[in-house]
Structure 1
């Protein structure tokens, strides 16, 4: 009994045979709408090229065109439950956070700098906003940030 059921299932049904015959007849035919659209595309004029970029004087440099970025950080920085303090003077707030070459440096108000290995560029990007200015020298940036 099961052998007969399997044998019937192995052979295509009448509907499947009709479907295969119709598919074979339609193979290679293209609907007329496709030919009409192709003809319109061939007749169409090429689109004019528009420069959507800002003029050079209004463009902001990308991160790979800068030597680094910095921002002021007024509140204390707490990492792993420990407040970060300057190794030389003991200051623990009013930092400048410098991001350069995938390293984070902290600079206190007195001008002492120390690398902070527990912070990375991703942390810097999460905690800072867009740049409000670019500067030619490090000293210009320090003046801009009030240090």
Structure 2
């Protein structure tokens, strides 16, 4: 019985035979247009320019057009297992976190500011939500955030 199985396995199947015949027929054929340089394209008129941008009042400034960004941080800020406190008044919650020129600054409710070197712009971007507004001056932004 095993002898018969081995004998059948040595003979190619019908599908294998058909593939071998088709391969032999196509052996020396080259597709049409292969190796021929492409035909020259005719010059066309340039497309009409359409102003498809938003109107100026709806455009959001890009990050390089802004002097900085800020967000409120109501809860205590814990870095490296230590709660951050204001160096002057020792407040430890209700911060404004400012991101400007690749630096992070903390501003307490009393208006004291201190640079926080343990934070970076990547941390700010991970923890801030989308901007809800832009302001022309720093004071306008402070008023908007309730400081």
- Name the residue aligned to 2:126: 126
Structure 1 partner of 2:88: 88
Shift of 1:131: 1.1
Q: Which runs of 5+ in 2 are unaligned?
A: 1-22
Aligned equivalent of 1:7: none
Q: Is 1:114 matched with 2:121?
A: no
Relative to structure 1, the CA distance from residue 17 to residue 69 in structure 2 (aligned partners, 3 Å threshold; closer, same or farther) is: same
Q: Given the two structures, how large is their TM-score scaled by the length of structure 1?
A: 0.71
Distance 2:123 2:85 in 1: 18
CA deviations 1:10-56 (Å, max 9, x no partner) are xxxxx67962x3238874479xxxx9xx9xx97x9876544332111
User: When the two structures are superposed, what TM-score results if normalisation uses the length of structure 2?
Assistant: 0.71
SS of the aligned residue for 2:98 comes to strand
Partner residue in 2 for 1:23: 30
1:13-52 counterparts in 2 under 5 A? 19=27, 21-23=28-30, 27-28=34-35, 49-52=49-52
RMSD over aligned Cα atoms: 3.0
CA distance in 2, matches of 1:64, 1:73: 24
Equivalents in 2 of 1:125, 1:87: separation in Å?
A: 25
Q: Distance in 2 between matches of 1:115 and 1:80?
A: 16
Is there any run of 5+ residues in structure 1 with no aligned partner, and where?
1-14
Following the alignment from structure 2 to structure 1, what is the Cα–Cα distance between the partners of residues 63 and 88? 31
More helix by share: 1
- Judged with a 3 Å threshold, the aligned counterparts in structure 2 of structure 1 residues 25 and 110 are, in CA distance, closer, same or farther, namely closer
